Amino acid sequence: MNQPIDLRSDTVTRPTDAMRQAMRDAQVGDDVMRTDPTVIELEERVAALFAKEAALFVPSGTMANLLAILAQTTPGDEILTHREGHIYYYEAGGYASVGGCSVKFVDDADAPKRGVLSADALRSAIRPADIHFPIPKLLTIENTHNRAGGVVWPMDMLGEVCAAAKEHGMRVHTDGARIWNAACALGVELSTLAADTDTISACLSKGLGCPVGSVLVGDRETIERARHKRKMLGGGMRQAGILAAAGLHALDHHLDRLADDHARARSLANDLAECSIFDFDPADVETNLVYAKLAEHAIDAGGDAFAWERTLESIGVLCYAESPTTLRFVTHLDLDDGAIQEAATRISSLGQRAGSG
């Protein structure tokens, strides 16, 4: 059995030895009592990176997004979002079951790429004030956009759609699980990406390689409301400095290397596109996610993407079927150039054996 090459997600990364040492050496207090010095340092540092007033360390990105909703809406309000946004698609309906909000999709068939929304599309989706309608209170966007293939929002569209939301009295939350990757891909500061949005969630446990945690940033009043809601949800941690230390280490050592993951994703995409199992344009890869659409003959011969996921697992390449036609591969801290090349070689050999390469 080949040693597995895990391309399922960047959440599978394990702390480096240096990160583990930083965790062992962390000074700790009680974060609920707001006396954990390492958590305080992480929150202050992340807030400064995004040029926001305050930040809150939380156990997960899902909780960070839910806290952003709870802190900026009231039950009965409406959230506008992309129909394949993570908040709607993957977070167990928390916006409805906990936040009491409804969702309205912003449809933008003319968007230059999947996952982004134009200001005009948002304006068209906002209903007029009427007692029959919920109040549109919050626009949520995702940068990078997961189900759109890790795409990055163009800066002009980002500014325009945020301005349109505020014209209508709405606040804006960015699900920035991979906002670090967006900044890397665009070559801009995190504060630039945050300038027009009210709150941002940023995962530490994906591209930055931490074992646990996300940070929610925004204005001080909103973050204080979120802190209260965090406690209500059971997210108040005690000696959380052990985890926050991993985040501080990642900010020092793992931010700049994200460009390596992007380069490896492009390399993998180019190799997979040469294998006739797949039919996709590798130029669509912008960050560390590769969405590889299966060729029709590969589906006819080997089944849908869920069947191909199992087939690839049998040769030691772990990935996810994102849909019946598409496999997702994610590059990350734990995989070097050799691992990416080996994964491509295994997949290409499989295609040749299947008579499709």
Residues 325 and 228 in one domain: no
- Whether 3 is in a domain gets the answer no
Question: Residues 50, 200: contact at Cβ < 8 Å?
Answer: yes
Structural domain for 313, as ranges: 257-353
Give every CB contact of residue 3 below 8 A, 6+ residues apart in sequence: 316
Tell me the three-class secondary structure of 164-216, residue by residue: HHHHCCCEEEEEECCHHHHHHHHCCCHHHHHCCCCEEEEECCCCCCCCCCEEE
Alpha-carbon distance values, 357 to 30, 244, 326 (Å): 58, 47, 18
- Whether 10 is in a domain gets the answer no
Residues 237 and 268 in one domain: no
Residues 169 and 297 in one domain: no
Place of tokens 């009231």: 74
Report how many domains make up the chain.
2
Residues 313 and 267 in one domain: yes
- CATH number for position 315: 3.90.1150.10
Residues 141 and 199 in one domain: yes
SS3 46: helix
- Closest of 309, 344, 349, 348 to residue 325, by C-alpha: 309
Helices (H), 179-282: 179-186, 190-194, 220-232, 241-253, 258-274
- Whether 8 is in a domain gets the answer no
Backbone angles phi, psi at 70, to 5 degrees: -65, -35
Question: Residues 277, 303: contact at Cβ < 8 Å?
Answer: no
- Of 198, 231, 251, the residue at which a domain comes to its end is 251
Residues 235 and 280 in one domain: no
Give every CB contact of residue 224 below 8 A, 6+ residues apart in sequence: 54
Predicted TM-score of the model (pTM): 0.95
Residues 222 and 281 in one domain: no
Residues 216 and 296 in one domain: no
Residues 93 and 225 in one domain: yes
- CATH number for position 167: 3.40.640.10
What is the rounded distance in angstroms from the CA atom of residue 28 to the CA atom of residue 56?
16
- Of 251, 267, 283, the residue at which a domain comes to its end is 251
Residues 246 and 271 in one domain: no
Tell me what pLDDT residue 245 has.
98
Task: Please report which helix (H) or strand (E) contains residue 291, including its range.
Answer: strand 289-293
What is the rounded distance in angstroms from the CA atom of residue 68 to the CA atom of residue 148?
22
Place of tokens 């929304």: 117
Strand pairing category for 317-318 and 199-203? unpaired
Residues 168 and 315 in one domain: no
- Whether 27 is in a domain gets the answer yes
Residues 273 and 198 in one domain: no
- Whether 6 is in a domain gets the answer no
How many helices (H) and strands (E) are present in the chain, helices listed first? 15, 12
What is the rounded distance in angstroms from the CA atom of residue 330 to the CA atom of residue 262?
10
- Whether 274 is in a domain gets the answer yes
- Of 229, 251, 273, the residue at which a domain comes to its end is 251
- Whether 289 is in a domain gets the answer yes
Tens of pLDDT, residues 194-206 = 999 999 999 999 9
- Whether 100 is in a domain gets the answer yes
Alpha-carbon Rg for the chain in angstroms: 21
What is the rounded distance in angstroms from the CA atom of residue 108 to the CA atom of residue 116?
8
pLDDT (tens place) for every residue of the chain, 357 residues total = 579 999 999 999 999 999 999 999 999 999 999 999 999 999 999 999 999 999 999 999 999 999 999 999 999 999 999 999 999 999 999 999 999 999 999 988 888 899 999 999 999 999 999 999 999 999 999 999 999 999 999 999 999 999 999 999 999 999 999 999 999 999 999 999 999 999 999 999 999 999 999 999 999 999 999 999 999 999 999 999 999 999 999 999 999 999 999 999 999 999 999 998 999 999 999 999 999 999 999 999 899 999 999 999 999 999 999 999 999 999 999 999 999 999 999 999 886 655 544
